[in-house]
Amino acid sequence: MSENDCVFCQIVRGEMDSEVVHDEEEVLAFQDIGGQAPVHVLVIPKQHISSLAEIGDVSDGVAKRLLEVAHEVAKKMDVAESGYAFRINNGPDSGQEVFHLHAHVMGGRKLEMP
Ligand code: 5GP
Ligand code: ZN
């Protein structure tokens, strides 16, 4: 998929609406459109990579910021203490639907392993 067709690249470019939770130079966090928990935010690198298979294509700093922003979002959404899941789907068996790397930050209810 090219970056032109990628829905998350369109969100990064402002061509598609989203409810932004956190925005910085290289990382964006926004509400998942199909929220599966009271808190369900997606954290993405603005650079298009399809999955963790390409994590080596982003800088170490960006990779680290993805993790830090996930926790900052959890704090902002008030689930850092009650707990939250951080999940990255990769490839067919995971159910990955959008092929722009994204981390789900989910909380606000009891979560189970799938
Ligand atoms: P995946 O299964 O690829 O890990 O998850 C993709 C997630 O992206 C799903 O939870 C879905 O609800 C969300 N999603 C898909 N399209 C859009 C969109 O256009 N805007 C937003 N905010 N979320 C989307
Ligand atoms: Zn993309």
User: Domain segments of the chain: what residues?
Assistant: 7-107
Distance CA 104, CA 31 (A): 10
Specify whether domain 7-107 bears CATH 3.20.20.100.
no
Specify whether 104 is catalytic. Answer: no
Distance CA 84, CA 91 (A): 23
For the chain, 114 residues long, the average pLDDT of each consecutive 10-residue run is 89 98 98 97 98 98 98 98 98 97 98 91
Distance 81 CA to ligand 2 centre (A): 31
Does 20 contact ligand 1 (Cβ within 6 A)? no
Distance CA 35, CA 42 (A): 10
Catalytic option among 40, 100, 102, 104 = 102
